[in-house]
């Protein structure tokens, strides 16, 4: 992405004129420092490029810093807010809901907070879904549970009906928690709201366990996924060690990006081969994966393989693609494919193997967030509230260069290709060093 071409201005609904209650003497956070809109976080920290732009008299691209503003746009006593969770499950969804509700209720005094059931379906009349009234006692312990208390769904819904529902129910701030499809829908909703001249703020909290959203340094749930995936690797490693020519094969999440597979490999360095979507590999041939695996078994008598779900898709060329309810192409199942190929390869060579295949994906997605993600979610939720209360709209809350920032929603809505592992970067080179796997290409 060309950072220099990004328009980072954050739209607002109008002038914020109401003194924020966050620093009132009745507030529980007396002494809170307010953030000014002109406090910025530089996008690109490359010193050489910074010097070149300064020398040329060009503006330094930056994001607006997240946090509470001195003046707010909405009157908390009259405000109604709605929260919706969309797409697949992810550790931390309940943590985000909890953080938003507690911040609205206790720090801003907003009492009318509603949860929308089962994603965007909750706005559509034909589904007959009521709002869930969200108060501190309702969300007090939900961070200890996996999933989302609001439910979720996939698939497009009528934007006009969603906006009509928001208008009819006098919703002032809509918090949308979801992945790239959700953020695209949020951008369309915010644009439809603007076209109708409504004063509704739309705030996005980016969610993807794969950590593949542009201009989001880390998405919530990612650390939990890595944490739990290491357990699968430990199990696979012990299974592989326990038998002659033992092989442990673990499939992890990552349709387009191998961040979980790569990071988990480094977190539990018992892995000998890591296969990710960003790096091509061959199966057959003298330098292909199967030959490298055979050599590993000859030398060490066991092997552990981690494969991201989107790796090796070239082996399925010509097959009919499968799409989920949101219209996203689902990768073909590389795990069973590799298992069958390995089994056939060694059988043809009359080499006995003991292969164990582990797919912990749905266990990982549905579990509660760990303490690291719990803290991270609390930051994201609070900063989402600060943005909405100040009348900001069409933004997502992000972490960038060690600061929480507001990123224009259109940036992610317009990106077709997810963020991917830099195959010339430190993460991937560290994986290569840890596994010693080489290129696995015949070229």
DSSP per residue, 310-363: TTTGGGGTTSPPEE-TTSPEEPP-HHHHHHHHHHHHHHHTT---EEEEE--HHH
Taking phi over 0 as left and psi of -120 to 50 as alpha, with beta for the rest, 215 belongs to: left
Does one domain contain both 189 and 324? no
Give me the sign of the Cα torsion angle 326, 216, 90, 95.
negative
Any domain includes 443 = no
What is the C-alpha to C-alpha distance for residues 285 and 441, in angstroms, rounded to an integer?
8
Any domain includes 354 = yes
Does one domain contain both 384 and 397? yes
Any domain includes 441 = no
| Pick from 79-93, 189-203, 216-230, 403-417: least confident | 403-417
pLDDT value, residue 59: 86
Does one domain contain both 376 and 354? no
Does one domain contain both 194 and 334? no
Any domain includes 418 = no
Average pLDDT, the chain: 93
**Residue 165 binned pLDDT confidence (cut-offs 50, 70, 90):** very high
Does one domain contain both 199 and 230? no
Any domain includes 157 = yes
pLDDT value, residue 367: 93
pLDDT value, residue 2: 61
DSSP code at position 12:
B
Q: How far, rounded to the nearest angstrom, does the alpha carbon of residue 365 sit from its chain's CA centroid?
A: 12
Cβ(36)–Cβ(250) below 8 Å: no
Domain that holds residue 136: 3-219+367-413
Please give the tally of structural domains in the chain.
2
DSSP code at position 13:
S
What is the C-alpha to C-alpha distance for residues 228 and 335, in angstroms, rounded to an integer?
18
Q: Using DSSP bridges, classify how beta strands 403-408 and 62-65 pair: parallel, antiparallel or unpaired.
A: antiparallel
**Residue 295 binned pLDDT confidence (cut-offs 50, 70, 90):** very high
Any domain includes 161 = yes
Does one domain contain both 339 and 376? no
Q: Nearest 5 degrees, angle CA 157-CA 215-CA 82? A: 40
Cβ(257)–Cβ(415) below 8 Å: no
pLDDT value, residue 1: 56
Q: Of the segments 6-10, 54-58, 177-181, 434-438, which one has the largest average pLDDT value?
A: 434-438
Cβ(414)–Cβ(188) below 8 Å: no
Cβ(206)–Cβ(398) below 8 Å: yes
Q: Which stretches of 242-353 are DSSP H helices?
A: 259-267, 289-300, 334-348
Any domain includes 114 = yes
Residue 276 has pLDDT above 60, yes or no: yes
Sorted by sequence, the CB contacts under 8 Å of residue 309 that are 6+ apart come out as: 251, 252, 253, 254, 255, 331, 333, 334, 335, 361
Phi, psi for 392 (deg, rounded to 5): -80, 155
Residue 416 has pLDDT above 80, yes or no: no
Q: Of the segments 27-31, 116-120, 417-421, which one has the largest average pLDDT value?
A: 116-120
Q: Which stretches of 84-142 are DSSP H helices?
A: 93-102, 136-139
CATH of residue 331's domain is: 3.40.50.460
What does the pLDDT average to over 49-75?
A: 92
Residue reference for tokens 């969200």: 134
Catalytic sites, residue numbers: 210
CATH of residue 47's domain is: 3.40.50.450
Any domain includes 442 = no
Does one domain contain both 384 and 255? no
What does the pLDDT average to over 262-280?
A: 96
Does one domain contain both 347 and 393? no
| % of the chain with per-residue pLDDT over 70 | 95
Does one domain contain both 177 and 246? no
Does one domain contain both 130 and 253? no
**Residue 327 binned pLDDT confidence (cut-offs 50, 70, 90):** low
CA-nearest of 425, 377, 409, 431 to 213 is 409
| % of the chain with per-residue pLDDT over 90 | 82
Does one domain contain both 431 and 381? no
Does one domain contain both 315 and 387? no
What does the pLDDT average to over 323-329?
A: 67
Residue 198 has pLDDT above 90, yes or no: yes
What does the pLDDT average to over 172-179?
A: 96
CA-nearest of 44, 149, 146 to 101 is 149
pLDDT value, residue 325: 67
For the record, the structure tokens of 375 come out as: 């803290």
Burial level of 168, CB count in 10 A (0-12/13-18/19+)?
exposed
**Residue 288 binned pLDDT confidence (cut-offs 50, 70, 90):** very high
What does the pLDDT average to over 233-246?
A: 95
Mapping DSSP to helix (H, G, I), strand (E, B) and coil, where does residue 268 land? coil
């Amino acid at each position: 992405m060309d950072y220099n071409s990004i328009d980072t201005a954050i739209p607002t609904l109008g002038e914020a004129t109401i003194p924020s209650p966050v620093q009132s003497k009745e507030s529980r956070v007396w002494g809170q420092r307010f953030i000014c809109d002109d406090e910025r976080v530089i996008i690109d920290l490359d010193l050489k490029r910074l010097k070149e732009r300064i020398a040329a008299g060009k503006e330094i691209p930056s994001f607006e810093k997240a946090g509470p503003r001195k003046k707010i746009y909405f009157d908390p006593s009259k405000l109604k807010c709605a929260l919706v969770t969309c797409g697949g499950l992810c550790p931390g969804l309940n943590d985000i809901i909890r953080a938003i509700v507690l911040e609205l209720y206790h720090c801003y005094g907003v009492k009318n907070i509603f949860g929308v059931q089962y994603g965007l379906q909750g706005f559509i009349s034909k589904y007959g879904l009521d709002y869930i009234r969200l108060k501190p006692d309702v969300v007090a312990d939900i961070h200890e549970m996996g999933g989302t208390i609001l439910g979720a769904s996939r698939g497009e819904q009528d934007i006009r009906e969603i906006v009509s529902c928001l208008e009819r129910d006098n919703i002032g701030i809509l918090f949308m928690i979801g992945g790239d499809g959700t953020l695209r829908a949020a951008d369309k909703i915010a644009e439809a709201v603007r076209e109708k001249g409504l004063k509704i703020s739309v705030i996005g909290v980016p969610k993807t366990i794969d950590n593949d959203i542009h201009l989001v340094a880390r998405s919530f749930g990612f650390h939990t996924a890595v944490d739990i995936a290491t357990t699968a690797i430990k199990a696979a490693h012990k299974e592989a060690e326990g038998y002659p020519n033992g092989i442990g094969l673990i499939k992890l999440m990552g349709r387009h990006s191998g961040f979980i597979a790569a990071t988990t490999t480094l977190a539990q360095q018992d892995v000998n081969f890591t296969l990710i979507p960003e790096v091509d590999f061959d199966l057959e041939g003298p330098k292909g994966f199967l030959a490298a695996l055979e050599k590993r078994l000859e030398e060490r008598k066991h092997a552990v393989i981690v494969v991201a779900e989107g790796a090796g898709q070239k082996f399925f060329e010509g097959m009919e693609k499968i799409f989920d309810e949101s219209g996203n192409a689902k990768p073909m199942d590389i795990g069973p494919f590799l298992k069958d190929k390995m089994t056939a390869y060694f059988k043809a060579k009359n080499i006995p193997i003991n292969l164990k295949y582990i797919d912990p994906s749905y266990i990982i997605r549905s579990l509660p967030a760990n303490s690291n993600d719990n803290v991270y979610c609390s930051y994201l939720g609070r900063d989402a509230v600060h943005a909405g209360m100040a009348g900001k709209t069409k933004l997502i809350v992000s972490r960038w260069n060690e600061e929480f920032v507001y990123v224009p929603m259109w940036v992610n809505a317009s990106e077709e290709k997810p963020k991917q592992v830099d195959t010339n970067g430190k993460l991937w080179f560290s994986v290569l060093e840890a596994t010693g796997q080489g290129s696995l290409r015949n070229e």
